[in-house]
Amino acid sequence: MNLNWTAIVIAFVISILMGIFGGLYLPKNVNLIGPIIGGLIAGYIVDNSYTDGLVNGGIPAGIAGLISFIVIIYLTWGEIITLASNLGYPLPPESFIIIAAATGFAGFAMYFVLGIIGAVIGVAIKNRDSS
């Protein structure tokens, strides 16, 4: 297993930028394209090994998902509190940590899987091009 730092940085940056800006400003679920694109580029950059593609594409995308989902919860926390109180469910102050941790875990898992899918596609394209 080889770490390619260029691929890792590219997968992370693309995933986190699409995650944060897509989650805040683009239509619903458009931010899910980011880890696929980041993983695809990372998978294409690494050697012809699927394992290297998974490590260099999936893990940075997952970390980017963790960070971006927590940032989105932080930036929209006021709206979440207002919505919850309008629905009759006032949120205590410590609920931010619980909600941020839960969405961060979900963001990691979702982006990790999507980064792996993109990485597998990228390695497959590279293997096809090199043969």
For 104-123, write each residue's pLDDT tens digit: 999 999 999 999 999 999 99
pTM recorded for the entire structure: 0.85
* Structure-token pair, residue 78: 């006021």
| Residue 40 to residue 34: CA distance in whole angstroms | 10
Task: Report yes or no: 118 and 57 within 8 Å, Cβ to Cβ.
Answer: yes
Task: Report yes or no: 46 and 123 within 8 Å, Cβ to Cβ.
Answer: yes
Task: Report yes or no: 64 and 35 within 8 Å, Cβ to Cβ.
Answer: yes
Angle at CA 34, nearest 5°, toward 47 and 38?
A: 15
At 72, which amino acid appears?
A: I
pLDDT at residue 131 tops 70: no
For 43-76, write each residue's pLDDT tens digit: 888 877 888 888 888 899 999 989 988 988 998 8
Let me know if 80 is exposed, middle or buried by CB neighbors in 10 A (0-12, 13-18, 19+). Answer: middle
pLDDT reported for residue 110: 92
Angle at CA 78, nearest 5°, toward 83 and 88?
A: 25
At 115, which amino acid appears?
A: G
Name the DSSP letter for residue 48.
S
